[in-house]
Amino acid sequence: MATTIDVVEFQLGKEHYALDIQLAREIVEMMPITPLPRAPAYIAGIINLRGEITNILNLNSLLGLHDGETAENQKIIVLVPEAAGGSNVGIIVDDVSSVRQVAEDEIDAMDDAASSAAYVKGIIKLGAEDEGDGRDTDRTDLIIWLDVQRLLQEQVATT
Amino acid sequence: MLDEEIYRKLFVEESRENHETIVNSLLALEHGEDAAAIDEIFRSAHTLKGMSASMGFDDMERLCHSMEDVFQLVRNGQRTVTPALTDLLLRCTDVIEVMLDEIEGGGDPSSETAEILIKSLKAFSDKGTDEAAFDALPDGGGADAEPAMIPVAMEDPDADASPVYTLRITLDPACGMKDVRALVILQNLEELGSIRATTPSRDLIEDGMFGESFSLRIASDAGEEALKTVASGADVTAVEVSLYEQEAAAADADPRPDLEFEDIQAPQKPGKSEKAREIKNIRVDIHRLDQMMNLVEDLVINRGRLEQIARKHGIKEFDEALSMVGRSVSDLQNLMMGIRMIPLERIFNRLPRVVRDVANYDGKEVEFIVDGGDTELDRSMMDGLNDPLLHIIRNAVNHGIEPPDVREANGKPRKGLLKLVARRDKDNVIIEIEDDGSGIDPEKLRHSAVEKGLMTAEAARTAQKEELIGLLFQPGFSTAEKITDISGRGVGLDVVKRAIESLKGTIRVDSTLGKGTTFELVLPPTMAIVDVMMVHINDRRCAIPVSNVVEVATGRQDAIHHIGSTETILLRDSLLPMHRLEDMFGASSKGSDTLVVLQNDGKKCCIVVDSVEGQQEVVVKPLSRLVGSCRGISGVTIPGDGDVVPVLDVNTMV
């Protein structure tokens, strides 16, 4: 058996994404976010997470996507501080589906320039074990495995 | 960071450790031959020698060197450790300790005692006998010799011609508070004349650290009898008065050797002061201090939250308990702030050197006066203040003060005067850098402004002096005619201004052509906790530092005038620019007539707010690096209700 990787799967618009579970500290329900005047567009605002000021990022704008309609089940994935150079950071996602164990052979590594620019680590193609939960069997479900750490480093901390 | 001060500190700290090692090992040696202990001493003495040599403390180096020689012999088995030798070596360590104290106090130790000890050590290593070691010691080295006098006053002993008496005052051994007794006697005597010297030192007497008796030397015209009467009193068993010869007094004018002497003769004294030192100071890692500060900030936030809950329920007992907690938290907060404060000296001390270097480089003569270095500022601000200050000082020498010849031609003293003054003013720390140089030429500024395209020729012609001086803080604006590697690269004052603003401070320049320039920095002593006024602007909450708020007023619609694109309002006969801050807080939905008048740097303006919530003490946390800097926002805060509220930075708001 090949090695497996644990990822958190979440939705953003119509796409499914995943990030390394080591980067996620916790998942909290959506709460009122205080907007920061004159902050860069990717800063959705700040929240008070048990006394700690946490910067909430808009993943859509970081990935260059359009803001879709606000989903009902929006959640905030709070990342470990190491992911963003020591700052407390959370990202808004439309929904968090599950924590998933992915075998390495289910991942299509993408190493062309286009995927690098989109901060994609790989594409997870759902394997046979997912057939049971009502999904299509022709492997149409793809999960985009994001390189969140690199995304933050290059898009955010460079200021 | 530079600098000698810090090296000195490090040196003292490390040397103390080495010194302690030597003492402990020496004591271990007393209990029997111990090769490890000898090695240890040898190593420590060697390190001490090396370090003192590199710091330029020659006496100490030579003393350590002699000690090292002796240990070398002991290590090789050519000499054995005798009690006499241990005594001698311990006396050396005492001298070293006194030297360390002196170094710590900023002095350069030199000691004749060290010379004597070095000789004894030499004699010991040459002859190898105990007697030899003590041959070289003069009488003063004997165990029961009278401690020498310690002069207390700095005045010239020959300043007045009054006869000098030596008094020996013996107190009743049963006397309870001999320190107080002694103090009273000393004070009474001082009314009759000036006390020249005391044995032991006056501090020790006042602490009660003397045996049954102490002696002093006093210059007085009152005569023996009067002195004797004044000196005797309750608990005084004996007073001996004798006339002291002037020649001897003159010989004793140099306090140094005596001081050293007293110390080596009183081994119990260093022991005591060492103990006191250990209790008085502990070293704490700055990170732990920061962590503590964070905890205190959390406490302050949560106290606010509790207060709000208390208000909702109105339970009397709870309120009482809370006010107790509140008081403790405030005390803790103040204490914490105090601990984090360090005197400005820390950064001022390196400046004289900078002035000297720049002045030498430019061939200028500058007298640099620093005042108020004991003014305290939060540690976190020190780092940020260093570079701007350095820059202003360099600028002042480089561009402000003229070459000596030019100064003379202008009827000024050859030597330029540069003053750096810090003081505390209400809630602010003010730092002024004043030079008596050429001042800033408004005409030059005018010219430069047009040339660099910062102003139209029209605007420049009509611009006020203040406006022109403000240009100095524009990026890329430098009027220096020649660019040196010390200052004047055109990246100057704008960087300074930004640095000061990031410390929530302001900078102001005042200059008179031909007379000089004054830079004034106004800084809050600490950044962490501030009083803010909570307001709602266009349905969003915002905190404004109370120090920026002048008043809350109601503006009538008909008092609003449009001058060009800016709205202004006439309020009590003064015309204030009015800002709606729509780009910061979203478009206003309803017209509000509540105005908050703000002032910053002497300039007033007002903003429109929906409502004012009240005043609150909050902890301002800086914005994360992720966000970068948002103009107009200095940080965020969590008031008692757990909301997150941005704090308005009036400085950069518009």
Q: How confident is the model at residue B333 (pLDDT cuts 50, 70, 90)?
A: confident
Domain chopping of chain B, boundaries: 2-135, 150-252, 286-343, 345-523, 529-653
Chain A hits for B541, Cβ within 8 Å: 34
Residue B112 in contact with residue B63, Cβ under 8 Å? no
Q: Over the stretch B437-485, which tens digit does the pLDDT of each residue have?
A: 888 888 877 887 787 777 777 777 777 777 777 777 777 665 554 444 4
Q: Would the CB atoms of B624 and A35 count as touching at under 8 Å?
A: no
Q: What is the mean pLDDT of residues B69-93?
A: 77
| Nearest chain A residue (CA) to B635 | A36
- For the residues of A32-98, what is the DSSP string, one character each? --BPPTT--TTEEEEEEETTEEEEEE-HHHHTTPPP-PPPTT-EEEEEPGGGGTT--EEEEESEEEE
Distance from the B299 Cα atom to the nearest Cα atom in chain A, whole angstroms:
10
| Nearest chain B residue (CA) to A51 | B298
Number of domains in chain A: 1
Q: Is the pLDDT of residue B248 over 50?
A: no
Q: Label residue B45 exposed, middle or buried (CB < 10 Å: 0-12, 13-18, 19+).
A: buried
Phi, psi of B52 (to 5 degrees): -70, -30
Q: To probe the interface with A, which of B298, B585, B626 has the most A CB atoms within 10 Å?
A: B626
Q: Which of A99, A103, A116 is nearest to A9 (CA)?
A: A99
Among B5, B20, B46, B240, which one carries the catalytic annotation? B46
| Nearest chain A residue (CA) to B629 | A39
A62-66, B107-111, B354-358: segment of lowest average pLDDT: B107-111
Instruction: Name the CATH superfamily housing domain B2-135.
Output: HPT domain (1.20.120.160)
Q: What pLDDT score was predicted for residue B488? A: 42
Q: What pLDDT score was predicted for residue A77? A: 92
Q: What is the mean pLDDT of residues B600-610?
A: 83
Q: What pLDDT score was predicted for residue B423? A: 87
Q: Is the pLDDT of residue A68 over 80?
A: no
Q: What pLDDT score was predicted for residue B175? A: 63
Residue B466 in contact with residue B480, Cβ under 8 Å? no
From the centroid of its chain, how far is CA B559? 51
Q: Is the pLDDT of residue B152 over 70?
A: no
Chain A hits for B583, Cβ within 8 Å: 37-38
Q: What is the mean pLDDT of residues A127-137?
A: 50
Q: What is the mean pLDDT of residues A11-39?
A: 88
Q: Which residues of B427-456 are buried (b: 16+ CB within 10 A; e: fewer)?
A: ebbbbbbbbbbbbbebeebbebbbeeebbe
Is the model more confident about B350 or about B268? B350
Residue A56 in contact with residue A29, Cβ under 8 Å? no
Q: What is the mean pLDDT of residues B64-85?
A: 77
From the centroid of its chain, how far is CA B177? 35
Q: Would the CB atoms of B627 and A36 count as touching at under 8 Å?
A: yes
User: How many CB atoms neighbour CB B315 within 10 A?
Assistant: 12
- The winner for highest mean pLDDT among A71-85, B220-234, B585-599, B617-631 is A71-85
Q: Is the pTM of this model over 0.90?
A: no
B451 classed as catalytic: no
Q: Would the CB atoms of B628 and A84 count as touching at under 8 Å?
A: no
Q: Would the CB atoms of A47 and B624 count as touching at under 8 Å?
A: no
Q: What pLDDT score was predicted for residue B554? A: 85
Instruction: Name the CATH superfamily housing domain B529-653.
Output: SH3 Domains (2.30.30.40)
Q: Which two tokens stand for residue A73?
A: 């089940």
Distance from the B554 Cα atom to the nearest Cα atom in chain A, whole angstroms:
25
Q: Would the CB atoms of B630 and A157 count as touching at under 8 Å?
A: no
Single-letter amino acid, residue B201: S
Q: Is the pLDDT of residue A48 over 70?
A: yes
Q: Would the CB atoms of B643 and A34 count as touching at under 8 Å?
A: yes
Q: What secondary structure, in 3-state letters, does B382-395 show? A: HHHHHHHHHHHHHH
Among B18, B395, B548, B651, which one carries the catalytic annotation? B395
Q: Would the CB atoms of A159 and B628 count as touching at under 8 Å?
A: yes
Q: To probe the interface with A, which of B618, B619, B624 has the most A CB atoms within 10 Å?
A: B624
Spatial separation of the C-alpha atoms in residues B242 and B238, rounded to whole Å: 13
The chain-wide mean pLDDT, for chain B, equals 75
Name the H helices within B314-350.
316-340, 345-348
Instruction: Count each helix (H run) and each strand (E run) in chain B, helices first.
Output: 23, 23
The CATH code of the domain at B286-343 is 1.10.287.560
Q: Would the CB atoms of A38 and B621 count as touching at under 8 Å?
A: no
B68 classed as catalytic: yes
Residue B116 in contact with residue B109, Cβ under 8 Å? no
Q: What pLDDT score was predicted for residue B420? A: 92
Q: Is the pLDDT of residue A89 over 80?
A: yes
Spatial separation of the C-alpha atoms in residues B596 and B549, rounded to whole Å: 7
Q: What is the mean pLDDT of residues B95-113?
A: 76
B395 classed as catalytic: yes
- The winner for highest mean pLDDT among A61-65, A90-94, A140-144, B640-644 is A90-94
Distance from the B630 Cα atom to the nearest Cα atom in chain A, whole angstroms:
5
Q: How confident is the model at residue B258 (pLDDT cuts 50, 70, 90)?
A: very low
Q: What pLDDT score was predicted for residue B139? A: 40
Among B40, B68, B97, B402, which one carries the catalytic annotation? B68
Cα→Cα distances B533→B350, B372, B524, B536, B645, Å: 39, 32, 17, 10, 11
Q: Would the CB atoms of B298 and A51 count as touching at under 8 Å?
A: yes
Chain B hits for A154, Cβ within 8 Å: none
User: How many CB atoms neighbour CB A53 within 10 A?
Assistant: 20
Q: Is the pLDDT of residue A144 over 80?
A: yes
Spatial separation of the C-alpha atoms in residues A58 and A70, rounded to whole Å: 12
Q: Which fold has domain B345-523?
A: Heat Shock Protein 90 (3.30.565)
Q: Would the CB atoms of A53 and B633 count as touching at under 8 Å?
A: no
- The winner for highest mean pLDDT among B266-270, B534-538, B623-627 is B534-538
Spatial separation of the C-alpha atoms in residues B518 and B437, rounded to whole Å: 10
Q: Which of A26, A25, A21 is nearest to A4 (CA)?
A: A21
Spatial separation of the C-alpha atoms in residues A13 and B633, rounded to whole Å: 32
Give me the domain span that covers residue A142. Answer: 4-156
| Nearest chain B residue (CA) to A157 | B626
Residues of B with CB under 8 A from a CB of A: 298, 301-302, 540-541, 581, 583-585, 621, 623-628, 630-633, 636, 638, 642-646
The conformation of residue B514, written as its DSSP 8-state character, comes to T
Q: Is the pLDDT of residue B257 over 70?
A: no
CB < 8 Å from B in window 98-157 of A: 152, 156-157
Domain B150-252 has CATH 3.90.45.10: no
Q: Is the pLDDT of residue A33 over 80?
A: yes
The conformation of residue B148, written as its DSSP 8-state character, comes to P
* CATH number for the domain that contains residue A124: 2.40.50.180
Q: What is the mean pLDDT of residues A46-54?
A: 82
Q: Is the pLDDT of residue B582 over 70?
A: yes
Is the model more confident about B51 or about B320? B320
